[in-house]
Amino acid sequence: MKLNGIAHRSVEADPAAGCVRILDQTLLPWRTLWLELATLEDTLHAIATMQVRGAPLIGAVAAWGVALALRADASDAALERDAARLVATRPTAVNLRWAVERMGRVLRPLPPAARAAAAAAEAARIAEEDAAQCAAIGQAGAELIADLARRSGSRRSDGRVNVLTHCNAGWLATVDWGTALAPIYAAAAAGIDVHVWVDETRPRNQGASLTAFELAQQGIAHTVVADNAGGHLMQHGQVDIVIVGADRVTRRGDVANKIGTYLKALAAHDNAVPFWVAVPSSTIDWTLADGVAEIPIEERAGREVTHISGRDAGGEVREVQLTASPAANPAFDVTPARLVRGLITERGRCPATEAGLAALFGR
Ligand code: MRU
């Protein structure tokens, strides 16, 4: 996708320099700074501090982390130790475990001397596959938006389709295109008039700072709303479809995504607004069935709730304190499958059910 008019991926390898480059997402939307990750420690820091975030991107960057780690120590013991450290950085996004386990399966049978080169090749494959899968999700989801545009023509004079999304599931959260935003980009490229309601997504504001930023960069009409506005907009016919991403989907179709997603699904259900979840297959956890009972929910620092940063009138980015009270910060919630109209995957769309997923993925 484009950043200041130039095509970029959100993680870019530079084999000649021996590093991968990431866009520091903690500085957006105010500053675009590319950081070089050259070691495992750099990678752990980038994931833990959310310089990179979003389930598929975390997976892709973790795969590069394995490759960078092996340049320092390619022994069996180091491979297992470093993989475990990477997996521990963010517990909810299953793409992280998926990518690290895939690297391990490729690397374990190899002699240590062959591992670093093989790891770099496999990390590059994971990144390519993620970009291709997100492009396919875009096509599968754009059909839904095109269908709504046809029906919207008879319902509304402007013919516009209003999509509501939560958090950031765009190209910044993946290697390219995004998951929830990919259908929007594909629909806009096909000439459909799309407008996006962007939930600000407290406490870290990935909607206001990342989704709004990338939609603006791609020239997509959008409006940022407070997290609590979605239900009201739905009651007044201003949302045609909700599309969100996910950090983990169980084999029965329960969906873990950024905190607040469940409330949007409840409001969508009450207002008969279709609620779709866009995911690559790397986000499906076939080992889990009941999402509410089984998906681990990341607890982050209360400071993310008690403090907020923004730009002051002089252009300085500053952090201010909102409250002196203690705060809790569960970072994700689980939307039960019964509230999900369907899943949009690289293989097409399916009901959020065990049978639907099994049919699509041949399980
Ligand atoms: O805490 P984050 O910013 O990593 O959370 C991101 C989300 O919840 C996204 O919606 C999810 O990872 C899907 S990304 C395509």
Structure tokens at 110: 């190899």
Structure tokens at 104: 């391990």
Degrees, nearest 5: CA angle 261-264-270: 145
pTM, rounded to two decimals: 0.97
pLDDT at 209: 98
Cβ atoms of 195 and 215 within 8 Å: the answer is no
The answer for 16, left when phi > 0, alpha when psi is -120 to 50, beta otherwise, is alpha
pLDDT at 156: 63
Q: What is the CATH number of domain 2-128?
A: 1.20.120.420
Q: Which of 49, 53, 298 to mutate to test ligand 1, by most ligand atoms within 8 A of the CB atom?
A: 53
DSSP 334: E
Structure tokens at 264: 């949007």
User: What separation in Å is there between the alpha carbon of 117 and the centre of ligand 1?
Assistant: 30
The backbone torsions φ and ψ at residue 249, rounded to the nearest 5 degrees and listed phi first, read -125, 130
| pLDDT beneath 70: ranges in the chain | 153-157
Q: Is 147 noted as a catalytic residue in this protein?
A: no
pLDDT at 363: 83
According to CATH, the topology of domain 137-361 is Rossmann fold (3.40.50)
Write out residues with Cβ below 6 Å of ligand 1.
Answer: 53-56, 93, 167, 169, 173-174, 178-179, 206, 245-247, 257-258, 331
One of 199, 227, 247, 285 is an active-site residue; which one?
247
Paired sense of beta strands 241-244 and 161-165, if any: parallel
User: What separation in Å is there between the alpha carbon of 246 and the centre of ligand 1?
Assistant: 6
DSSP bridge pairs for 309: 319
pLDDT at 157: 63
In the chain, where the domains are located: 2-128, 137-361
Angstrom distance (rounded) from CA 52 to CA 47: 5
Angstrom distance (rounded) from CA 126 to CA 132: 10
> pLDDT (tens digit, 9 = 90+) per residue, 225-267?
999 999 999 999 999 999 999 999 999 999 999 999 999 999 9
Structure tokens at 69: 């780690």
pLDDT at 45: 98
Structure tokens at 28: 């957006």
Closest ligand 1 atom to 167 CA = 10
For the chain, the 3-state helix, strand and coil shares in percent, each to the nearest 5, are 45, 20, 35
User: What separation in Å is there between the alpha carbon of 331 and the centre of ligand 1?
Assistant: 10
211: Cβ–Cβ under 8 A, 6 or more apart, which residues?
Answer: 165, 167, 168, 169, 170, 181, 196, 198, 201, 222
pLDDT at 28: 98
Asked if the bond preceding 29 is cis, omega within 30° of 0, the reply is yes
Could you identify the residue written with the tokens 């201010």?
A: 320
Q: Which of 248, 258, 262 to mutate to test ligand 1, by most ligand atoms within 8 A of the CB atom?
A: 258
Closest ligand 1 atom to 278 CA = 15
User: What separation in Å is there between the alpha carbon of 338 and the centre of ligand 1?
Assistant: 21
Alpha helices in 156-211 (DSSP H): 182-189, 206
User: What separation in Å is there between the alpha carbon of 173 and the centre of ligand 1?
Assistant: 6
